[in-house]
A and B are shown apart, each in its own frame.
Chain A
Amino acid sequence: MNERIQRLRTLSMDTHPRISVERAVLVTEFYKENEGKHSTPVLRAMNFQHLCRHQSIYIGDDELIVGERGPAPKAVPTYPELTCHSVEDLEILNSREMANYSITPEEIDIYREQIIPYWRGRSMRDRAFEQIGQEWQQLYSAGLFTEFMEQRAPGHTALDGSIYQKGMLDFKLEIAEARVRLDYLSDPEASAKQEELQAMDVACDAIMEFAARHVDLAEQMAASETYSQRKQELQRIAAVCRHVPAHAPRDFWEALQMYWFVHLGTIMELNGWDSMSPGHLDQHLQPFYEQGLAEGTLTREHAKEMLGCFWVKFNNQPAPPKVGVTAKESGTYNDFTNINLGGLKRDGSDGVSEVSYFILEVLDEMHTLQPQANVQISAKTPDRFLKAAARVIRKGYGYPSVFNADQVIMEQVQMGKTVEDAREGGTSGCVETGCFGKEAYLLTGYLNVPKVMELALNNGVDPLTGELIGLQTGDPEEFTDFEQVYQAFEQQLRYVVETKIAVNNYLEFMYGTYMPAPFLSVVISDCIEKGKDYYNQGPRYNTTYIQCCGIGTVTDSLSALKKHVFEDKSVALDELLAALKDNFTGKEPLRQFLLNRTPCFGNDDEYADSLMQRVYASLLQEIDGHHSTKGKTYHLNMLSTTCHVYFGKMLGATPNGRLAGEPESDGTSPSHGADRHGPTAVVKSLAKMDQAKSGGTLLNQRFLPSVLAGETGIERLTQLIRTYFRLGGHHIQFNVVDTATLRDAQANPANYRDLLVRVAGYSDYFINLDRFHQEEVIARTAQTDSMS
């Protein structure tokens, strides 16, 4: 990392996130003046244009890639037309300890006086909640599911290579052609399409105007710059912004700036989930890199410097903060840009290039919160690349995460995409499979599957509140065999899923109708051709995901019920139900028995794993193929992000011995501490899930750096990964733990039964070591960290 990048990185790391009301003021002023004068798509495009014309622009010292979403780095705008913060929200954000966003009293006054009075009752969120029924509200409040679309626009979008081949002028030409083709005589939607296409055209102009303002600013700054090198850089910035995004980029620098303008456009237009991702960045940059080297205009070092500048830009954009009760909870600044490296090209050849390797180097050197990256490993991916990734993983950043490219492709083909398009797809957000640049794959919220089981064990009553919120599936004390329990679970599941989907569909309709995204629609394939918006069937492919949490917790709980209550009859059902109600108070031996003597998911144990398969099949049955506003687009996803913690808080004690309020199992990982036979057994258990039918699974594995020590550690890790992928795994990521975690492991050993440490000539479980050796391992670990 050179000095420029160090300075930029330091500035980005040290700048505290703050809320900027500039966007809210501009949007409010625009709506007051223009609402009712134009069709909704055109109004949205003009709103975007208003922002592009009037919001403050910023070019910082040292920067080579320019443009910010707000007036300065880490100045985060708000989106009152979607969700309007209250004064209390802003005050909480300003004062809370975790994920704090500062805001000045003057800005709060502006919100109180100008923003809130206009948007209360007009924002998407206010309008949606006005319409949502009691059943949904009850389940939502009880923590049965979350709702993605109430605060942020549907997103999880990544781009394909089209923006490196076409500029906005090319897109405008396509739009013009599509408008010529409109058939007003036989297509009943022709007029709607005309409005949408006009909106896209305005959006193209808007982003070019935004770039032109950067040209002007760079030229002004160059004129007054005395230092000649910086003067030249500013002149070059002006030249680059004059060319992109109007035209397709011609070199490495322009390619990065092109992407960045498009990225900014989408996150200025709306606050879509997971911001935006470049997709297969290494594949997109490779031709520009090779051309630069061949022409002698670029060196490897310069390319890395440009990428460092690019990296900082992502880190400058913290996630837009939430509203409502959640503002009191800790959030994250991470907005989940997830760059894909490796994988396959459209023609099925290996996607790894020299660029893939140096992006890994940049990822390692920068190790910022954003962006993050993953590696897509196919059978064709060279071992050298996987090993290079493993060496970064060993540093303990938790990334890159590792995906099975072949499986990711199979999942997409299974959902009906062509194999070529699928290869251009990948994963974004956390683990979500999608077809980059051609698909709207929307997450609609997490589903608390263990809570569904809790309803089945309480005849539809939420034991935390005593309210009847589910179906009355029978008095649990009357259950005489396991099948009755399972049937009750399935009935509750159907009810909860259907209640959620009905509201999802309403929200999707709201976005499609009232909050189109004309700028985003320009860069997603087929929206122009169809004359339809990204949120309204425009993209070539449309998918709607529900993310199911806690399969480990549910499996182990069902396993405990089946084995101890109905088969061995070693625990009486009424005794167990009473213990759950009392959170195992005075029943520690029973709880320990359940924790230690239940066949659990993650041990390559058929008893537990077959129950996992059954639950997974039920989830597929209830979710997959459901209708959205766009057809049968519902699919299952198996990620939890951090929601397993929130869901755990909303869940009483469970039959696997988990105490009330404790986190559920994360992603598709085993319950914490339940997997006691090492990573090979975990991988085998996970492989029994037919992952090709999901839109993503998530497996967390926790290792100590010493287990990955030396070339042997790297080799074995890559072999473990390759084996998992041969068995059909979608994703695996490694938490190479730090000292803080080890301290916690000492204090709460039961949560860390699966933590492997390298002791000497062999590896052992950390909690099985005595204090002295734990201390010794901690000392060694710190050394490894400081050396790395």
Chain B
Amino acid sequence: MTSGVVFDIKHYAIHDGPGIRTTIFLKGCPLSCWWCHNPEGLGPEPVVIFHAERCIGCGRCLAACPRQLQGLQNPGCRGCGSCAAVCPTEARQLVGRQMTVQEVMTEIRKSQPFYDQSGGGVTVSGGEPLLQAGFLLELLRRCRQEEIHTAVETSGYIGGDALGQVAKFTDLLLYDLKHMDQEQHLYYTGVSNQLIHLNLQMLFVLGVRVQLRMPIIPGVNDSKDNLRQTAEFILSLPGANELEILPYHSAASEKYRKLGLTYSCVDVLPPDSDSMQQIASFLRKYGLSVKVGG
């Protein structure tokens, strides 16, 4: 049985595609966006997250560590989860666990009546779900067999024919455009945007249903120049004219601390709704249909 590393499953997800959905988060991502709000999903392996506010100092974690590590976020940690297994308060949690397709399907089926009622389904997110393409494909195939609507949230940074394969078994792709400038894209996400753009063109040529989205990161990608280029690029795609813009939020900063990671966007302030509306109007001038997400 195919298995993958899943780091979260959220029920009653109401903003990642139509209806009431279950969102499956797959671990590992080739990008490292400064503003990433799921830093626990970046690496492919399970990691230990530490919620200091829940710790009662019972010391069981220290006794359980096979590497006899001390300290809260020790660089020597290999994510074995022995500490999380004995932590009574769940202050230490292992983020990411190997799950079979069958196990994930069991979770997905739990919300079947809600999909039926709302036209919802499953959204696979990450991380970058296509990094676990075999697992993802198997999951999507099973959903299609059971007539469950599927959406996949992807960065589009994936080589080979994996994306084409996944697209065949996915009802909706949620696809981000982060920056049009290659250098800037590389600077802020760690990868070039070339492959992402090529893949997107391919998807539109194939006629795949893609919902385009753009996170608005003030000072990073909200310049008029970049917005104009984004609009022009979208309109150059066959049949594309819609974009959802999503305001940056800094809710994840605490998670970085809990994981012992550094947050790069500390100085960025979330855009207010007025500036989001201004950006939407600006983009609409080019003929785009723009929705402001929340």
Q: Which residues of A contact B (CB under 8 A)?
A: 588-593, 596-597, 604, 677-681, 684, 707, 709-710, 712-713, 715-716, 719-720, 722-723, 726-727, 749, 756, 758-764, 769-770, 772-773
Chain B residue numbers with a CB within 8 Å of A756 are 12
Asked if residues A758 and B110 are in contact (CB atoms below 8 Å), the reply is no
Interface residues of B, dominant DSSP = loop
Chain B residue numbers with a CB within 8 Å of A681 are 11, 110
Asked if residues B294 and A770 are in contact (CB atoms below 8 Å), the reply is no
Contact A760 B294, CB 8 Å, known A588-B56, A593-B88, A681-B11: yes
Of A589, A707, A720, A759, the most chain B CB neighbours within 10 A belong to A589
Chain B residue numbers with a CB within 8 Å of A773 are 250-251, 254
Pick from A590, A710, A764, A772: contact of B294, CB below 8 A: A710
Asked if residues B251 and A679 are in contact (CB atoms below 8 Å), the reply is no
Asked if residues A764 and B14 are in contact (CB atoms below 8 Å), the reply is no
Pick from A590, A604, A719: contact of B19, CB below 8 A: A719
Q: Which B residue's beta carbon lies closest to that of A592?
A: B88
4 nearest CB pairs, A to B: A770-B254, A760-B249, A592-B88, A719-B118
Pick from B113, B118, B120: contact of A727, CB below 8 A: B113
Chain A residue numbers with a CB within 8 Å of B110 are 604, 680-681, 684
The verdict on B66 contacting chain A, using a C-beta distance below 8 Å, is: no
Pick from B58, B117, B247: contact of A589, CB below 8 A: B58
For the complex formed, measure the closest distance between the CB of B7 and the CB atoms of chain A, giving whole angstroms: 14
Of A684, A719, A756, A763, the most chain B CB neighbours within 10 A belong to A719
Asked if residues A726 and B113 are in contact (CB atoms below 8 Å), the reply is yes
Q: Which A residue's beta carbon lies closest to that of B270?
A: A760
Contact A716 B20, CB 8 Å, known A684-B110, A762-B13, A763-B15: yes
Compute how far the CA of A716 lies from the CA of B53 in the bound complex, rounded to whole angstroms: 33
Asked if residues A720 and B254 are in contact (CB atoms below 8 Å), the reply is no
Q: A679-B12, A723-B116 are in contact. List 10 more A-B contacts (CB 8 A).
A: A591-B88, A678-B10, A680-B20, A712-B14, A716-B14, A723-B113, A760-B294, A762-B13, A763-B13, A773-B250
Asked if residues A716 and B294 are in contact (CB atoms below 8 Å), the reply is no
- What are 11 residue pairs bridging A and B, where the CB atoms are less than 8 Å apart in the complex? A589-B60, A592-B89, A681-B11, A684-B111, A719-B120, A760-B246, A760-B251, A761-B15, A762-B16, A763-B14, A773-B251
The verdict on B282 contacting chain A, using a C-beta distance below 8 Å, is: no
Chain A residue numbers with a CB within 8 Å of B111 are 680, 684
Contact A769 B251, CB 8 Å, known A677-B11, A719-B20: yes
Size of the B side of the interface (Cβ < 8 Å), in residues, is 35
Compute how far the CA of A591 lies from the CA of B88 in the bound complex, rounded to whole angstroms: 8
Compute how far the CA of A154 lies from the CA of B113 in the bound complex, rounded to whole angstroms: 40
Q: Which A residue's beta carbon lies closest to that of B16?
A: A762
Chain B residue numbers with a CB within 8 Å of A726 are 113, 117
Asked if residues A770 and B253 are in contact (CB atoms below 8 Å), the reply is yes
For the complex formed, measure the closest distance between the CB of A182 and the CB atoms of chain B, giving whole angstroms: 56
Contact A764 B251, CB 8 Å, known A592-B56, A678-B12: yes
Q: Which A residue's beta carbon lies closest to that of B249?
A: A760
The verdict on B222 contacting chain A, using a C-beta distance below 8 Å, is: no
For the complex formed, measure the closest distance between the CB of B113 and the CB atoms of chain A, giving whole angstroms: 5
The B68-120 residues at the A interface (CB cut-off 8 A) are: 88-90, 110-111, 113-114, 116-118, 120
For the complex formed, measure the closest distance between the CB of B243 and the CB atoms of chain A, giving whole angstroms: 14
Asked if residues B11 and A678 are in contact (CB atoms below 8 Å), the reply is yes
The verdict on B287 contacting chain A, using a C-beta distance below 8 Å, is: no
The verdict on B293 contacting chain A, using a C-beta distance below 8 Å, is: yes
Chain B residue numbers with a CB within 8 Å of A678 are 10-12
Pick from B12, B14, B116, B254: contact of A769, CB below 8 A: B254
Compute how far the CA of A763 lies from the CA of B37 in the bound complex, rounded to whole angstroms: 13
Chain B residue numbers with a CB within 8 Å of A680 are 11-12, 20, 110-111, 114
Compute how far the CA of A589 lies from the CA of B88 in the bound complex, rounded to whole angstroms: 6
Asked if residues B294 and A761 are in contact (CB atoms below 8 Å), the reply is yes
Chain A residue numbers with a CB within 8 Å of B19 are 716, 719
Asked if residues B20 and A720 are in contact (CB atoms below 8 Å), the reply is yes
Pick from B11, B53, B118: contact of A749, CB below 8 A: B53
Asked if residues B88 and A597 are in contact (CB atoms below 8 Å), the reply is yes
Compute how far the CA of A770 lies from the CA of B253 in the bound complex, rounded to whole angstroms: 8
Chain A residue numbers with a CB within 8 Å of B113 are 684, 723, 726-727
Compute how far the CA of A636 lies from the CA of B285 in the bound complex, rounded to whole angstroms: 63
The B29-55 residues at the A interface (CB cut-off 8 A) are: 37, 53
Q: Which A residue's beta carbon lies closest to that of B110?
A: A604
The B114-133 residues at the A interface (CB cut-off 8 A) are: 114, 116-118, 120
Pick from B53, B114, B293: contact of A723, CB below 8 A: B114
Chain B residue numbers with a CB within 8 Å of A677 are 11
Chain A residue numbers with a CB within 8 Å of B270 are 760
For the complex formed, measure the closest distance between the CB of B51 and the CB atoms of chain A, giving whole angstroms: 8
Asked if residues A761 and B20 are in contact (CB atoms below 8 Å), the reply is no
Compute how far the CA of A760 lies from the CA of B20 in the bound complex, rounded to whole angstroms: 17
For the complex formed, measure the closest distance between the CB of B153 and the CB atoms of chain A, giving whole angstroms: 11
Chain B residue numbers with a CB within 8 Å of A723 are 20, 113-114, 116-118
Asked if residues A762 and B11 are in contact (CB atoms below 8 Å), the reply is no
Of B10, B58, B89, the most chain A CB neighbours within 10 A belong to B89
Compute how far the CA of A710 lies from the CA of B14 in the bound complex, rounded to whole angstroms: 12
Asked if residues B88 and A590 are in contact (CB atoms below 8 Å), the reply is yes
Chain B residue numbers with a CB within 8 Å of A712 are 14-15
Asked if residues B294 and A596 are in contact (CB atoms below 8 Å), the reply is no
Asked if residues A716 and B254 are in contact (CB atoms below 8 Å), the reply is no
Pick from B37, B88, B254: contact of A596, CB below 8 A: B88
The B1-33 residues at the A interface (CB cut-off 8 A) are: 10-16, 19-20
Asked if residues A720 and B88 are in contact (CB atoms below 8 Å), the reply is no
Compute how far the CA of A726 lies from the CA of B117 in the bound complex, rounded to whole angstroms: 9
Chain B residue numbers with a CB within 8 Å of A716 are 12, 14, 19-20, 118
Compute how far the CA of A726 lies from the CA of B251 in the bound complex, rounded to whole angstroms: 36
Chain A residue numbers with a CB within 8 Å of B15 are 712, 761-763
Chain B residue numbers with a CB within 8 Å of A720 are 12, 20, 114
Chain B residue numbers with a CB within 8 Å of A710 are 294
For the complex formed, measure the closest distance between the CB of B65 and the CB atoms of chain A, giving whole angstroms: 17
Chain A residue numbers with a CB within 8 Å of B14 are 707, 712-713, 716, 763
Compute how far the CA of A762 lies from the CA of B253 in the bound complex, rounded to whole angstroms: 16
Chain B residue numbers with a CB within 8 Å of A596 are 88-90
Compute how far the CA of A727 lies from the CA of B254 in the bound complex, rounded to whole angstroms: 39
For the complex formed, measure the closest distance between the CB of A374 and the CB atoms of chain B, giving whole angstroms: 21
Compute how far the CA of A679 lies from the CA of B249 in the bound complex, rounded to whole angstroms: 24
Q: Which B residue's beta carbon lies closest to that of A757?
A: B251
Chain A residue numbers with a CB within 8 Å of B10 are 678, 762
Asked if residues B58 and A588 are in contact (CB atoms below 8 Å), the reply is yes
Asked if residues B246 and A761 are in contact (CB atoms below 8 Å), the reply is yes
For the complex formed, measure the closest distance between the CB of A779 and the CB atoms of chain B, giving whole angstroms: 12
The B239-276 residues at the A interface (CB cut-off 8 A) are: 246-247, 249-251, 253-254, 270
Compute how far the CA of A607 lies from the CA of B294 in the bound complex, rounded to whole angstroms: 37
Of B19, B60, B117, the most chain A CB neighbours within 10 A belong to B117
Asked if residues A759 and B20 are in contact (CB atoms below 8 Å), the reply is no
Compute how far the CA of A576 lies from the CA of B63 in the bound complex, rounded to whole angstroms: 23
For the complex formed, measure the closest distance between the CB of A607 and the CB atoms of chain B, giving whole angstroms: 14
Chain B residue numbers with a CB within 8 Å of A722 are 117
Compute how far the CA of A690 lies from the CA of B56 in the bound complex, rounded to whole angstroms: 40
Chain B residue numbers with a CB within 8 Å of A588 are 56, 58
